[in-house]
Every structure is written in C-alpha cells, then in structure tokens.
Structure 1
Amino acid sequence: MTTTDRASGALLLRQLREGRGWSWADLARALRDTARQLAVASLMNRQVASIQRTVARWESIADRTSPGDRYQFLLAQVYARTPAGDLAIGPGSDFDTLLEALRHFGTPPQRVRQLVELIGHGGRGDSGDLLMLLAPGTRSTIAAIQRDPSKLDHEVVSRLHEAVMAINGLVGTTPFVRLQLQLAPIVQSCRRLLELDQVGPRQELILLATTAYSLAGRLAFETRDDEAAMALYADATKAAGNLADRSHRAAVQTSHTMVTLHATDDLKVARTIARAATVDAHRGSSYAIRARAHAVHAEICARAGQADEAAAALDRAWKTVEQLTVDDPHGGFNADRLNGFDGLCALHAGDAGHAHDSLDKSVSALRLSRDAVQRGIVSTDLALARLRLGDPAACVNLLHEAVDITAATGGRVAAQRIRLARRDLRPWRTEDFLAELDDHIHDTLIGR
C-alpha cells in the first residue's frame, strides 16, 4: 500500500470518530463493549487504555498499524449503527465510510464483501452475528440449542465436533483471527451447556468442549493474545480431566507446552506441562499422542541443554511411532513430524549433519495445505542447519521460502524462528544475499 493510501485511511478513521464526538477512549470503550456483547474473548477483557493506544496508531500518519480482522469486525459492528441505534449501511453512511477507509488501508475486496454480508445478514449487535461466519448447517444447529438446550443429542454434538475439525483444517489457509471468530460461538455454546446439570450426552459434550477450548487456545496464541490462550488451555485441561481416556488431556498438554514455551520462553513451566503430558499419554489409548508427548518433552530437554534426557525421550518417541495404527483417533503425528523434532534436538546438541538430514526429510513430507504452518517452522530450522554446515547462501535461500510461507499462514512460531536465524546471519551483513533477505522480510512480514 502507498503512503497516500494509508494517510487517506487514517484520515477517514479520525473523521468517523470525531463525527460522533468521540475521543480515542470513547471509541476504545465502544469496541470493548461490542467485543463483550459478541463474546470476542481476545478483546472483551482488554483494558480501555490498551485499545486506545491501538486506535491512536491507526490514525497516525507515521505509524504502519492498520485494523486487523478482529478490529475490522468490531469497527463494522460499531459504525453499522447510528448513534440512535438504527442500522445504516447504505451509501453515505458511517459504515460505508469505514469500508472506504479499510480499502485505503489495503483490505482485500473479498474481506470488504464479507463484512458487508455479515452486517447485512446479521446486524443485531449480539452473539448471533458471529454465527454468520459459520456454515449454514452449523449455524442452525447452534441457534437451535441456544434456544432449547434439550435439543442437544448425539447427532448435534457430532455435527458441532465436525465443525470444530473443519475450522482446524483451515489452519494455514485462513487467517487465524477469522478462525477465532468462527470458533467463538461453539466455545460459547460449550460453556453454557456445561453449566447445565442435565443436558444430552455429557461425555461427548465434554470431549467437544476439550477440543474446542484447545483449538481456541492455539488460535489465541497465534494472534498474540497469550493471556486468553493460557486461560483456554486451562479450561481444556480441566474439561479433559473428566474423560476416561487420558490421551485427550495429554493432547491438550502437548499443545499447551509448546504455546507456553513460545509465548513465555519459560522452560521450567513448559517442562512441567510436558512431563504431565507424558504421564497422561501412557495412561491413554493413543500411540500417536504418546509419541508426540515424548517428542515435545525431548525438545524441551534439548533447549535446556539436557542432551542425554532429550536423546532418551526421542528414543521413546521413535519406538512409539513404530506402533502407530491407521485407526488411531488422534492420528496426525507420525515419523515425518517426528523427524522435525529429531532435527531440532540435533541442532541444539550441535550435530548439524544429523539435524540437516532429519529436517530435510520432514520438510519434504510436509506438502499438504494443512502442513503449511509446520513447514514454515521446519524450513527455518533446516535453514539454520545449512548455516551451521557452513553454507550461509543456502541458508538464506531456505529463509526466503520460510518468509513466504509465514506471510501466507501468519504462523507466529515460524516468525520467531526467522528472527533468530537472521540474528545468526549477522557475520554476513555486508553480503548482497543478506540485504535481499532483509528487503524480503521487511516487505513481506513487517511492511505489509
């Protein structure tokens, strides 16, 4: 986007706010209140002062910040109604002006159309608006059980579980914020239903809640809302504790371990969760979860410099992978994924050759769209292995690929790894290939 485009967008946002006689704090309160009405968990409890600073950055000519998906959604809800509360989205309305501002900020036409459709079909200013982001079948299912919880039965829970799995399947191809909004009404429904003493198939509902909360925690992490992520993982762990098969709780804990590691860099806390995951995994039925738990534990040990413990955990993971079955309900973790952990542990142990071979195998196998986020991470690790083997140019070539993948997926961990890899390339700062990488990072990840 050009400076002139962004300046025009910033000016229009300021005019919209001032046209309603609002200060930055007034708009911040309106956005937070709307987030609470719509159960947008990542913003509903945020301090007004924090949102106010974000609003100010949007209106600053010198700042590059523009409204992301969550804020676009909330701004659309706020400006779709007049100060008197009437819906007004036609030409010349505040909503129409908002869309023009978003276009100046570079918002894609399909996103603008989605906002128009969402407000046009919804516009009630309650949590029902979020249902418009869901497939029609899921939308009607949730609307029905919200009206009458007694309608919850095996078939309904199965449909909701399929909807959660469908949202999970979009990771890597759809912005994380949009997935958050799609998942929000399902999470909200689970909370309400679990509060009831007698409601349908209880164990199936608990499993649905465990899966939905865990995915919501991961999405909150990816959108840099770590407080919400930790709370959702705590909810998922608590819910999973009511399930007989401990594989479910171990699955939550392995994800929680990695999110804790990358959100806080607290190895001690991450290791505590990882150990709990291995204990639960061995009490559960899934060999896939058991293998992943050992792999995650190995990575934590390797990062802590505990090479022997990491090697022992990896050995257990490889032996467990050999026992995988095609009907494992927690399938998805396999030798290809384990090679990524193996390679990263080798990197931390100083064995660049072994790291390169394992990571190369993993990257070669991660070709599906649902593997994109993981491919971005492993590609960066492979780039570091190339660097440790004395080939900075090859390292940079791989990082170019990782930058493109990360820009497309929005993966937070891959972005962290790219920054660390760039730091290790400082001795080659005078080389043209590094200047080209810096330009690519800036244009694709920072300046977009």
Structure 2
Amino acid sequence: MYARGSDGRTSLGAGSDFAELLDALGQLGESEQRRQELRTLLVRTTTSTGSGLLALLSPSTQHALSAALADPALLDEELLAAMRTAVSDVNRQVGSIPFVRLQLMLAPLVESCRQLLHADVPAPLLADLQAIAAQTYTLAGRAAFETRDDDASRALYAQATAAAGNTGLPWQRAVVHISHALVTLYSAPGLEQARLLADAAVRDAQAGQSPTVRARAHALQAEIAARSGAAKHAKAALDLAWYDITSDRDGDPAGQSFSPAHLHGFEGVTSLYTGDPAQAHDYFAHAAQALNTPRERVQQAIVTTDQALARIRLNDPQAAAQLLHECIDAAASTSGRVAAIRVRRARSGLRPWRRENWFAELDDHLIDSLGA
C-alpha cells in the first residue's frame, strides 16, 4: 500500500511514501537487514511487472531527470544524488533478482548518463556525473556479461573506464578494472587480458585512497598468478591483500565492499591451483559460511563450487556432488554466468564416476535447471 502512489504506480525512491515507511520502521527499532529484505521483496515484485528503474525514482525525480535531459543546465546536486541512489539500489539487488531484470532496470540510467555526458552540464557537477556514470556502466557491463552479451559488456566497460578516469580518483578506475578483469577471465581465452587488467587495477588502487580497493585488486592479482602457476607471486599478492584488508579502513571511500570473507575465497583459489586442496577446502568452507547476505549469494555460489572442486581433488566425489546441487540452485535463481561455468567445470571433474547413480542425479539437476 505504501509503495503504490495515488496514480497507481509503484514508487520506492527517495521521497516516496515507501521510503518514509522504511525510515519510520528504522526509528521504531527495526533492523537494517529486515528493512533491506522488505525493500528487496518490493523491488523483486515491481520488476516482475515491468516497472523497473522508474520505481526507484520518485515522480519528482523522474520529472527532474526528463527536464535535465531536455536542458542539461537544469542538472543539479539533488538529481545527481537521486541517480547515485538509484544505481546503488540496483547494485544491492545482485543475488536477489536475475541479471536480465537488473539489465532492464539499468538501461534508462545508462542512456541518461550517456546523454548528459555529451551535453553542456554545469562544470562543478561534471566530476560527480562521471563517477555515477562509471558506476552505472560497470554494473551494466557485468549484467551484459552475465546475460552472455560479451560485445555489449566490453563496450560498457570501455565507457566505464573512460568515465572513471575523468573523476580524478584513481581508486574508482581501479574498481572498473577489477570488475572487467573478473568477467574477462570467463569471456576471453587465456589469462593475459585478465592479467593486464588486474595489473592496471593494482596500479590505480595504489595511487588511490581506498585500502579496500587495494586489497581487492591484490586478491585478484593473486588468483590470476595462481592460475598461471606462479605460486610465489600469488602468495606475495595475498600478503599485500591481507595487509590492506586489516588496515584502518575508517573513512574508506569504497566502504566495506570487500571483506576478509571474500579474501578467504581468493586464498582458497590460490591454494587450489598451487597444489593444496585440503587447505583450499577449508578456506572455501570458511568463506562460504561468512558470505550469507543476499548481495553475496552469487559469490557464495562461486566459492561453494570451488569447494566442491577441492573435494574432488581430495577424492571425495559424492560429497562434491552434494555441494554442486546447492550451487546449481543458486546459479539458476540468479542467472549467474560465472557460477554456472564453475559448476560445469566441476562436473567435468566427476566424469570418472559417471556410472554412479548420484552422478546421473546431478546431471539431471544440471540439465533441468541450467539447460546443459
């Protein structure tokens, strides 16, 4: 009732009755997690009926955005704040809503950023607009990758890199490089392109003011080094990542977007590829248990799939298959491409046991849920 306006349209954005309701619930002592769950439920319901991004923008914000697109001189800080909140809202739905819906929600914001960046907007607002555009393009690039549109993904990441480079904040461009490197691992042959992007991310992160982003960049560098067999390089990068993640992060502009739980997952991958599957399994189990928010569901599925691969290498294939059943469900519900790829790779490691009944059950589940 609070999410629906007098005109019958759903509105969840700043200034809406629903936003006021959430604020009131918070004042009455309701937890942030419960309020976020309620918001996620409403966003999921709204996107299923096709309302998309417009539901995240109040009617006044929609009007202001239309006016700014017609006359860029009308762009102001209030509208930029609403756009920033909208893209953050979409980002928080990763893991709760299929990527194809997220892509549809982002499309109007992507086009709005493109038009405004090519217009004569007020100069003092340009850096903030570039930052919002970089975040929007990066998220849209990932969504395009997850929906298997690699050409669109590459184009969006190129635009994100350019926009982030114009903010004057190197850590923001590092964030773009990290995301781009991760999708490149699964959309380009070999490791070289991903390695170049990870190295660029480290350079920008070191020039920036975010220990969180530095930790994330070093962790990615460690994974790529481990995959290429460079164990010493991988360990050195992990040590740097731990140094950054355990440093004082008060006031970090990237917030808590990367945690020790995420880093344990990278430690597991490093151990897996440098020859210690038992240690890798423990790292994966620890990370999977800690990655328990809706936003982390995709990452949890990836980590659990890697945990299954470690069990295969420990000669416990049936236990690995049990884990893969969970991963298949998560990959299907989020339409996560990386999780699905990791599941199929782990499944291929179970081929020596293909005559077992539990293997046939896994294959049936895989075909029914992911189509292959």
Amino acid at match of 2:148: R
How far apart are residue 222 of structure 1 and its match?
0.6
Q: Distance in 2 between matches of 1:268 and 1:249?
A: 20
**Preserved CA contact (<8 Å) 2:53 2:106:** no
**Preserved CA contact (<8 Å) 2:141 2:157:** yes
Structure 1 equivalent of residue 211 of structure 2: 287
**Preserved CA contact (<8 Å) 2:73 2:120:** no
Amino acid at match of 2:242: W
Within a 5 Å distance, the mapping from 1:195-234 to structure 2 comes to: 195-199=118-122, 201-234=125-158
Residues 394, 113 of structure 1: CA spacing in aligned structure 2 closer, same or farther, 3 A cutoff? Answer: closer
Q: Of 233, 246, 249, which aligns to 1:325?
A: 249
Tell me the alpha carbon deviations over residues 77-124 of structure 1, each in whole angstroms, 9 at most, x when there is no partner: xxxxxxxxxxxxxxxxxxxxxxxxxxxxxxxxx799825xx6xxxxxx
Tell me the alpha carbon deviations over residues 292-318 of structure 1, each in whole angstroms, 9 at most, x when there is no partner: 000111111111111111111111111
Residues 399, 326 of structure 1: CA spacing in aligned structure 2 closer, same or farther, 3 A cutoff? Answer: farther
Q: Of 182, 195, 202, which aligns to 1:271?
A: 195
Q: Of 381, 390, 395, which aligns to 2:306?
A: 381
Q: Return the structure number with greater relative CO, CA threshold 8 A, min gap 6.
A: 2
Structure 2 equivalent of residue 315 of structure 1: 239
Tell me how many residue pairs correspond in the alignment: 325
Residues 322, 139 of structure 1: CA spacing in aligned structure 2 closer, same or farther, 3 A cutoff? Answer: same
Gaps of 5+ in 2: 1-44
**Preserved CA contact (<8 Å) 2:181 2:194:** yes
Larger mean Cα displacement after TM superposition, 148-157 or 413-422: 148-157
Q: Distance in 2 between matches of 1:112 and 1:132?
A: 10
**Preserved CA contact (<8 Å) 2:308 2:324:** yes
How far apart are residue 319 of structure 1 and its match?
1.2
Within a 5 Å distance, the mapping from 1:231-380 to structure 2 comes to: 231-330=155-254, 331-380=256-305
**Preserved CA contact (<8 Å) 2:177 2:198:** yes
Tell me the alpha carbon deviations over residues 49-71 of structure 1, each in whole angstroms, 9 at most, x when there is no partner: xxxxxxxxxxxxxxxxxxxxxxx
Residues 318, 176 of structure 1: CA spacing in aligned structure 2 closer, same or farther, 3 A cutoff? Answer: same
Gaps of 5+ in 1: 1-109, 119-129
Structure 1 equivalent of residue 340 of structure 2: 415
Structure 2 equivalent of residue 192 of structure 1: 115
Structure 2 equivalent of residue 89 of structure 1: none
The CA RMSD measured in Å over matched residues stands at 1.8
Amino acid at match of 2:49: Q
Amino acid at match of 1:354: Q
**Structure 1 length as normaliser, TM-score?**
0.70
Structure 1 equivalent of residue 34 of structure 2: none
How far apart are residue 260 of structure 1 and its match?
1.0
**Preserved CA contact (<8 Å) 1:133 1:182:** no
Amino acid at match of 1:163: A
Residues 415, 112 of structure 1: CA spacing in aligned structure 2 closer, same or farther, 3 A cutoff? Answer: closer
1:151 and 2:74 matched: yes
**Preserved CA contact (<8 Å) 1:336 1:361:** yes
Q: Of 316, 319, 338, which aligns to 1:394?
A: 319
**Preserved CA contact (<8 Å) 2:191 2:224:** yes
Amino acid at match of 2:273: H
Tell me the alpha carbon deviations over residues 144-196 of structure 1, each in whole angstroms, 9 at most, x when there is no partner: 32233222111110110000000011111112111111111111111111112
SS at match of 1:439: helix
Tell me the alpha carbon deviations over residues 363-411 of structure 1, each in whole angstroms, 9 at most, x when there is no partner: 0001111111101100100111111112111101100110111111111
Amino acid at match of 2:174: A
SS at match of 2:97: coil
SS at match of 2:330: helix
Within a 5 Å distance, the mapping from 1:4-153 to structure 2 comes to: 114=49, 132=54, 134-137=56-59, 138-153=61-76
**Structure 2 length as normaliser, TM-score?**
0.83
How far apart are residue 274 of structure 1 and its match?
0.8
Q: Distance in 2 between matches of 1:215 and 1:132?
A: 17
Q: Distance in 2 between matches of 1:302 and 1:350?
A: 10
Q: Distance in 1 between matches of 2:168 and 2:111?
A: 24
Structure exhibiting the larger radius of gyration computed from Cα positions? 1
